[in-house]
Structure 1
Amino acid sequence: MKVISDPVRPAMNDIPEPGSTRCIDGQTRVHYEGYWIKTYPVPEDTPLARKRLIEALTRRLFNHTEHGLNIPGRRLDEARSAWESESDPGRKRVKGAMYAGALVNRATDIFTRLVDLQSTGVVVASNNDLMRECGRCLQEALSLTRLVLHRSGEEGIDELWGEPFRAFSIPLEDFYASRYLKIAQAMGDIDRIADAMVATFAQQPLFAGVGPIIREFAAAARIKTETLRTDPDIFDVWANLVTAGERLAGFAPRLVPSADAAADEADKRRASAGTHLLCNGRDLIFYITRARVAMPKSTREFEERCTTYAATGHIEMMPIPLPA
């Protein structure tokens, strides 16, 4: 099995400036938020490269949001009308999210066609009406992100909705630099969740030995967060993450029968709730890792659930996942 290096933190007396780069173990890495993140070559800033990036970001966006939002751009007027005419708050949220999806697809359609025209020699100025319409659609979609949930039913991921607009409006080099910062922030949330789980479970006899398993999973998640799917290492990286997650989800609490039936029953309830909480943490880390952006609200709420469990042995209800 190939050994993949974990994004490393610098010593406290060696904290570089954000955006600093170093070659570490033969790999160029950039520093943000306390992490040295693996870098990749920035493609040449051409209309074709920007088109491919926006198309990829659009696919990625719909891959991580609730189902039913990938409305074709040609149905934009229908989507807007359905949203504006809806009076029920719950249905209006969903229809607004669908309208946001149609806006993103309309913008992608426009930009794709403009790039196709450019490839035939047609000059398209940056102040072209269609270019402005493309930017307007992306901006309006971004304003509606509050209506959109993550596919899990957790908080929406506003950062994903902003990425197509940034890819449209700023130099590609700046766009990729901003991605490294977001990856670092995602790694920070992964470590916060892992820290909360270790602090909650590692000292409990019921969960003795779970600490290293949590740390192993978090390390695998950080590596996956910085690794592109086109990277040759992806086969080992993804396999390591999945198997580490399976080990965490499969951890069995150490239930030791005693002469006190009531105490044994209390231990069983605490073990069941704790196992459920561990799986919640694993799932949340998976969501962050796959999206490669932070989920601060969900992370904070998970930390609060850990605090509640440590104090009471009970857990609060988690969001019910949306239909798969």
Structure 2
Amino acid sequence: MGDGRQKKDMGAAGVLELYELHYSDLLLLSSTSPLPEEGEERVERIKKTIMETLGPTGPGLLSITGVPKASILRQRLLPLARKLALLDHDRRKHILKEHNLGSDVPLKNPDRNVSSFAMQLKYAQALESALVKTNNGPRCNSNLEPAHMDDNNNEVTDSPENEFENLADTFRELGYCMMELGLRVAQICDMAIGGQELERSLLESGTAKGRLIHYHSVLDNLLVKASGRRKGSTKKQAYCEKNQVLLSRSEQKQSKCCNLITNGNEVGSSGNQGNLWQQWHYDYGIFTVLTAPMFLMSSQLTEKYRNRSISSLV
């Protein structure tokens, strides 16, 4: 998770070594219960490291490990991002409406390099979910039973008719889990600096935005464009081109405001990433909590297009 400061390309600075905080320690540090005397020194050491990591001289990034059920929820949700990205627009629109999902990316644009699916998540429900988990032990939503396995112990893939059946439930469940992590980190920060400003700011905001994001591979882009050509009319094509121009103008305006230069060139071996969605951006929330990304590769792709596409929940 990050603390909301500006996100930049870190390639020139090298690889960051993330401080790893185990979920059990997160619970211990955010608890108001008295600590055992022999553990006080260790807890204070961890708390100091967290504050240095998230402080003005630290990287602003913290890795939380061992989060109950997060792995299975991530494995269920993230692959759906690519499937949604490649769906026929009308069918995707129906599914998103059915599951109360929107987007902050123009999904009609066949030239997009990323697909994003967003949901407003309420802190009241997140706190209720965390309370149930604390009282009854970690659990998934009742609809998220372990996957069915065949005779060779391989997971049986859902049929196209029902593969999105639990989309909203899984999205919310993982989203609430991530929101809980943010609230607990805020509690730790408040204990260190005094008061309850961070936690109160989060709760008073009422909602957080969850984004299920899929960054397209080369093959994904070809499939999206081919689908657009099949269904596209002159009017639709004009809409997409107009939308692309408006998006480009908006990016140029933001670039000038922030004294940054982007040139929109294709990504090449030189590492130029000018055409990536949100190459740099501001996170307006106090914390940004991210799942570990999932790199997807189909064994059926030709060698020419066998590159990775990425999905993540933010």
Both structures adopt the same fold (TM-score exceeding 0.5): no
- TM-score scaled by structure 1? 0.23
Higher Rg = 1
| Bigger proportion of residues as helix | 1
Asked which structure has the greater RCO (Cα within 8 Å, sep 6+), the reply is 2
- TM-score scaled by structure 2? 0.24
